[in-house]
């Protein structure tokens, strides 16, 4: 299956191989059920098989160097915490950047509940996200735990209807 093939490639080439047994000091290890070691090794939930192809490659690419496992685990949790998560500059009521503001407007007009996080308030989060998403700029929109895109992509998808479709699917799942 493509997902496990790419997972194998990831483990083979990546220096970030974390084996459950050798990292007992990490709190996350004990929290995870022993029956799912592949989940832990990938460092992210194994939902790859049901995702669209582009999302699958996003996951593989996102195993960038320089990202601490704790940060990765935290970000995993954050993007999974709500169906729609927007990392932006400023807050949804006070955006501090035109691009971030645009995405907030779009989401508001679609009447979807969404969570925003201000990356200007937290430099570690800001840098961590750039590595995690392998995306150098903000805003960054995550739908259903997967990176969707920045402002341009969101606007395009909104115009084409793809954004609404993706959101609907996420809300119903």
Partner 1 sequence: MRQKLQSALEASALEIEDVSYQHAGHAAVKDNANETHFNIRVISSKFEGQSLVKRHRMVYGLLTDELNSGLHAISIVAKTPTESGS
Which residues would be at the binding site for partner 1 (CB under 8 A)?
Answer: 52-54, 57-58, 61, 89, 96-99, 120, 134-137, 147-153, 156-157
Q: Indicate the residue among 38 and 136 with the shorter CB distance to partner 1.
A: 136
Q: Indicate the residue among 72 and 89 with the shorter CB distance to partner 1.
A: 89
According to DSSP, residue 90 is labeled: B
**What is the closest distance, in whole angstroms, from the C-beta atom of residue 127 to partner 1 in the complex?**
12
Q: Indicate the residue among 33 and 53 with the shorter CB distance to partner 1.
A: 53
**What is the closest distance, in whole angstroms, from the C-beta atom of residue 54 to partner 1 in the complex?**
4
Tell whether the torsion through CA atoms of 57, 63, 69 and 75 is positive or negative: negative
According to DSSP, residue 96 is labeled: S
Q: What are the b/e assignments for 22-46, b being 16+ CB within 10 Å?
A: eeeeeebbeeeeeeeeeebbbbbeb
**What is the closest distance, in whole angstroms, from the C-beta atom of residue 80 to partner 1 in the complex?**
19
**What is the closest distance, in whole angstroms, from the C-beta atom of residue 140 to partner 1 in the complex?**
11
Beta carbons of 45 and 145 less than 8 angstroms apart: yes
């Amino acid at each position: 299956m493509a997902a496990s093939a790419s997972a194998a490639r990831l483990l083979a080439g990546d220096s970030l191989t974390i084996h459950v047994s050798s990292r007992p000091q990490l709190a996350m290890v004990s929290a995870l059920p022993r029956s799912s070691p592949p989940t832990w090794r990938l460092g992210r939930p194994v939902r790859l098989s049901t995702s669209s192809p582009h999302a699958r490659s996003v996951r593989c690419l996102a195993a960038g160097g320089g990202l601490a496992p704790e940060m990765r685990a935290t970000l995993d949790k954050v993007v999974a915490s709500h169906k729609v998560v927007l990392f932006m500059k400023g807050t949804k009521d006070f955006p501090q950047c035109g691009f971030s503001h645009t995405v907030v407007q779009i989401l508001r007009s679609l009447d979807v509940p969404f969570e925003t996080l201000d990356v200007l308030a937290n430099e570690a989060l800001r840098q961590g996200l750039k590595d995690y998403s392998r995306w150098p700029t903000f805003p960054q929109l995550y739908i259903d735990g997967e990176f969707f895109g920045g402002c341009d992509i969101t606007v395009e998808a909104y115009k084409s209807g793809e954004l609404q479709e993706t959101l609907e699917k996420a809300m119903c799942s």
